[in-house]
């Protein structure tokens, strides 16, 4: 049995089917880069069917990113009334031009007879020849046996026949799916033992969480020999979601001794989890195992007393192993390992016990108490760190601004009047935009671009607003997250205020400060190298 488990991430496809979550093309590319940096083996990019041009665009753009993970196109077996070479679904999968393809087929007689309405033998044929066609086109094929566990309980022999059909077609891996998410671990174990006795082929596991057993069923499968785990970080997905990779990766690595992404990369897990929450624009689950803010938070007096003597008393693993931190909720003793780790990345060699580092940690905690979060706003965090250490001086300063919104039936626009100090002068500009934030952006650029031509490269890629205290109604505090790019690098910035325009200004101004900071650092580096020569 191999100690390495392939991690197949479906955040961009299965995770995007969650209620309330929609990813833009830019979101998907940003997430793909972060997943690749984490070290997952497969990134399922979506279903490039003829009615979904966004997913086809994703595959085209993802090919330019030079990712180490195998970007995978997802789809179904052919339609019953078409040969594989004539089937639009299969041929659209090929147009995605991915090395790996994952297709699903029916394992449950109920679905074959009630949903597809074809004979059982015909379903076996379309599974086999769909897989064979894609393999013949040079693709690695992962076969997802949809509803396998329900199908096996209804008709064990037929469910096994569907696996053999995919095996004959040349599938590299047979992935057994608990699509309805209602199978219990004892039944998963029993069925997998029967599969292993009758079908000699590498297998993986894909579970849903409708009975709260998604992660548990995946662990059972790995213990019985599964070589691939499919899931979604944060557990997003249809209905109650998919098996949560934020739970599975540390469980497999720390509890079972398997290798997934490696223990060093596990330390990035909480940052990734919170990053995804920000991009998905949903609240981060504080009670999520391993990566929830409450996962290692202690409040009871007896607990805290014991924890001060030995953390093993009330913690099942080291919080730093997954990038989390221990917190004592009723005292001022609060761990700062996650923030300190980020600080060390910005300023290498700085000891976290240094007074400057302690000052920085206190400031970050103060800001996070106000509603700031820096997981998807690395630009704001780096600015904060360098400002605190006098490593960067802002090259422009706001004097004041005013925005005016013009509304009429079917027409809305905005005007921004801005005063900003830069280059020893106050620049007074006016600009129009589709809304007040766009107008502010235009006015700021009008003032700064003549002084700093590099800012012409910067464009806004995404803008998200999160209400932090909904009970306050229209007076609620909001967090604004802006994603910017200069065509080469991307960075996030964040602003928080009861006034959405002010929060937007903070994030918008930081996005340009960050570019100017990076530009100054590059110029200093070039000057230093030239002097060295």
Let me know whether 276 and 400 are in one domain: no
- Averaged pLDDT, 275-284: 89
pLDDT of the residue at 335: 43
* Higher-scoring residue by pLDDT: 198, 55: 198
Let me know whether 162 and 19 are in one domain: yes
pLDDT of the residue at 171: 98
Let me know whether 404 and 276 are in one domain: no
* CATH value at residue 250: 3.20.20.70
Query: What whole-number distance in Å separates Cα of residue 497 and Cα of residue 339?
Result: 22
Task: Give domain status of residue 318, yes or no.
Answer: no
* Full residue range of the structural domain in which residue 492 is found: 396-532
* Higher-scoring residue by pLDDT: 420, 373: 420
* Higher-scoring residue by pLDDT: 392, 316: 316
- How far is C-alpha 521 from the geometric centre of its chain's CA atoms? 29
Complete DSSP assignment for 362-422:
HHHHHHHHHT---TT-HHHHHHHHHHHTTS---SEEEEEEEEEEEEETTEEEEEEEEEEEE
pLDDT of the residue at 264: 96
- Averaged pLDDT, 473-485: 84
Query: What whole-number distance in Å separates Cα of residue 221 and Cα of residue 203?
Result: 9
Task: Give domain status of residue 269, yes or no.
Answer: yes
Q: Are strands 100-106 and 70-76 parallel, antiparallel or unpaired?
A: parallel
Tell me the residue ranges of DSSP E strands in 40-120: 42-46, 70-76, 100-106
pLDDT of the residue at 474: 61
* Predicted confidence band of residue 476 (pLDDT cuts 50, 70, 90): confident
Query: What whole-number distance in Å separates Cα of residue 351 and Cα of residue 347?
Result: 9
Q: Each residue of 422-454: pLDDT tens digit?
A: 999 999 999 999 889 999 999 999 999 999 999
pLDDT of the residue at 106: 97
pLDDT of the residue at 473: 63
Let me know whether 140 and 273 are in one domain: yes
Query: What whole-number distance in Å separates Cα of residue 304 and Cα of residue 362?
Result: 22
Query: What whole-number distance in Å separates Cα of residue 80 and Cα of residue 121?
Result: 11
* Higher-scoring residue by pLDDT: 159, 460: 159
* Predicted confidence band of residue 328 (pLDDT cuts 50, 70, 90): low
Q: How much is the mean pLDDT over the chain? A: 90
Task: Give domain status of residue 293, yes or no.
Answer: no
Query: What whole-number distance in Å separates Cα of residue 457 and Cα of residue 73?
Result: 33
| Angle (CA) 333 338 342, round 5° | 130
| Contact (CB, 8 A) for 244 and 235 | yes
Query: What whole-number distance in Å separates Cα of residue 464 and Cα of residue 21?
Result: 13
H or E segment to which residue 432 belongs: strand 425-433
Upper half-sphere CA count for residue 50 (Cβ side, 13 Å): 5
Let me know whether 95 and 232 are in one domain: yes
Question: Which of 233, 259, 280 is the last residue in one of the domains?
Answer: 280
* Burial (0-12, 13-18, 19+ Cβ within 10 Å), 390: exposed
- Averaged pLDDT, 40-55: 89
Query: What whole-number distance in Å separates Cα of residue 267 and Cα of residue 156?
Result: 42
* Burial (0-12, 13-18, 19+ Cβ within 10 Å), 219: buried
Query: What whole-number distance in Å separates Cα of residue 47 and Cα of residue 89?
Result: 9
Using CA atoms, how far residue 265 sits from 4, 23, 197, 262, in Å, is 15, 25, 36, 6
Complete DSSP assignment for 117-159:
-S-HHHHHHHHHHHHHHHHHTT-EEEEEEETHHHHHHH-HHHH
Q: Each residue of 91-127: pLDDT tens digit?
A: 999 999 999 999 999 999 999 999 999 999 999 999 9
Task: Give domain status of residue 15, yes or no.
Answer: yes
- Averaged pLDDT, 66-74: 97
pLDDT of the residue at 532: 64
Domain count, the chain: 2
- Averaged pLDDT, 298-306: 70
pLDDT of the residue at 147: 97
Task: Give domain status of residue 340, yes or no.
Answer: no
Task: Give domain status of residue 273, yes or no.
Answer: yes
Largest CA distance in the chain: 81
pLDDT of the residue at 330: 39
Task: Give domain status of residue 287, yes or no.
Answer: no
Phi-psi region of 477 (alpha: psi -120 to 50; beta: other; left: phi over 0): beta
Residue 273 confidence (pLDDT) above 50: yes
Query: What whole-number distance in Å separates Cα of residue 283 and Cα of residue 272?
Result: 14
Contacts of 272 (CB under 8 A, 6+ apart): 34, 35, 38, 233, 246
| Angle (CA) 97 233 481, round 5° | 90
- In sequence order, the β-bridge partners of residue 488 are none
* Higher-scoring residue by pLDDT: 355, 149: 149
Comparing 204-208, 305-309, 311-315, 388-392, which segment has the lowest mean pLDDT? 305-309
Question: Which of 257, 280, 303 is the last residue in one of the domains?
Answer: 280
Let me know whether 39 and 169 are in one domain: yes
Question: Which of 280, 298, 330 is the last residue in one of the domains?
Answer: 280
* Predicted confidence band of residue 332 (pLDDT cuts 50, 70, 90): very low
* Higher-scoring residue by pLDDT: 201, 523: 201
- Residue 228: what are its φ and ψ, rounded to 5°? -140, 140
Comparing 166-175, 322-331, 452-461, 518-527, which segment has the lowest mean pLDDT? 322-331
Comparing 108-112, 217-221, 422-426, 466-470, which segment has the lowest mean pLDDT? 466-470
Q: Each residue of 482-507: pLDDT tens digit?
A: 999 888 888 999 999 999 999 999 99
pLDDT of the residue at 448: 96
* CATH value at residue 472: 3.30.160.270
Comparing 71-80, 121-130, 293-302, 391-400, which segment has the lowest mean pLDDT? 293-302
| Contact (CB, 8 A) for 527 and 400 | no
Task: Give domain status of residue 50, yes or no.
Answer: yes
* Predicted confidence band of residue 334 (pLDDT cuts 50, 70, 90): very low
Query: What whole-number distance in Å separates Cα of residue 64 and Cα of residue 70?
Result: 13
Residue 277 confidence (pLDDT) above 60: yes
Query: What whole-number distance in Å separates Cα of residue 232 and Cα of residue 255?
Result: 20
Residue 533 confidence (pLDDT) above 90: no
Percentage of the residues of the chain whose pLDDT score is greater than 70 = 91
Residue 352 confidence (pLDDT) above 70: no
């Amino acid at each position: 049995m191999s100690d390495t488990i392939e991690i197949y991430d479906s955040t961009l496809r299965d995770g995007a089917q969650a209620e309330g979550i929609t990813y833009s093309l830019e979101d998907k590319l940003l997430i793909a880069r972060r997943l690749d940096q984490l070290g997952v083996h497969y990134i399922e990019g979506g279903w490039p069917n003829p009615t979904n041009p966004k997913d086809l665009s994703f595959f085209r753009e993802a090919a330019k990113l030079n990712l180490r993970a195998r970007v995978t196109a997802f789809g179904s077996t052919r339609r019953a009334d078409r040969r594989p070479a004539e089937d639009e679904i299969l041929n659209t999968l090929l147009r995605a031009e991915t090395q790996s393809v994952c297709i699903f087929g029916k394992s449950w007689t109920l679905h074959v007879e009630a949903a597809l309405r074809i004979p059982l033998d015909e379903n076996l044929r379309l599974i086999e020849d769909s897989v064979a066609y894609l393999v013949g086109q040079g693709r690695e094929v992962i076969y997802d046996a949809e509803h396998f566990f329900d199908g096996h309980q209804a008709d064990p022999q037929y469910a096994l026949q569907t696996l053999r059909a995919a095996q004959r077609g040349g599938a590299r891996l047979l992935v057994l799916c608990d699509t309805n998410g209602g199978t219990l671990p004892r039944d998963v174990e029993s069925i997998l033992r029967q599969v292993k006795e009758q079908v000699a082929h590498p297998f993986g596991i894909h579970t849903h969480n409708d009975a709260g057993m998604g992660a548990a069923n995946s662990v059972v499968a790995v213990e019985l020999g599964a070589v691939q785990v499919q899931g979604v970080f944060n557990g997003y997905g249809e209905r109650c979601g998919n098996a949560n990779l934020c739970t599975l990766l540390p469980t497999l690595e720390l509890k079972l001794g398997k290798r997934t992404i490696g223990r060093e990369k596990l330390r990035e897990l909480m940052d990734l989890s919170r990053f995804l929450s920000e991009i998905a624009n949903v609240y981060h689950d504080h009670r999520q195992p391993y990566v929830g803010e409450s996962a290692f938070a202690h409040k009871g007096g007896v607990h805290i007393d014991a924890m001060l003597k030995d953390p093993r008393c009330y913690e099942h693993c080291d919080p730093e192993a997954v990038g989390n931190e221990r917190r004592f909720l009723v005292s001022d003793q609060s761990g700062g390992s996650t923030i300190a780790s980020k600080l060390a990345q910005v300023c290498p060699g700085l000891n976290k016990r240094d007074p400057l580092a302690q000052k920085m940690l206190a400031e970050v905690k103060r800001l996070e108490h106000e509603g700031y979060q820096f997981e998807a706003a690395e630009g704001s965090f780096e600015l904060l760190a360098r400002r605190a250490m006098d490593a960067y001086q802002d090259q422009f300063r706001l004097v004041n601004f005013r925005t005016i919104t013009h509304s009429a039936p079917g027409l809305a626009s905005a005007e921004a009047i801005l005063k900003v100090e830069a280059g020893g002068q106050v620049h007074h500009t006016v600009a129009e935009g589709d809304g007040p934030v766009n107008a502010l952006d235009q006015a700021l650029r009008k003032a700064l671009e003549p002084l700093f031509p590099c800012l012409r490269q910067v464009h806004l890629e995404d803008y998200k607003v999160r209400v932090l205290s909904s009970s306050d109604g229209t007076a609620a505090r909001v967090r604004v997250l802006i994603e910017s790019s200069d065509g080469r690098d991307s960075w996030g910035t964040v602003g928080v205020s009861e006034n959405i325009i002010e929060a937007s200004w903070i994030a918008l101004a930081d996005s340009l400060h960050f570019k100017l900071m990076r530009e100054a650092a590059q110029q200093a580096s070039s000057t230093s190298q030239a002097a060295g020569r």
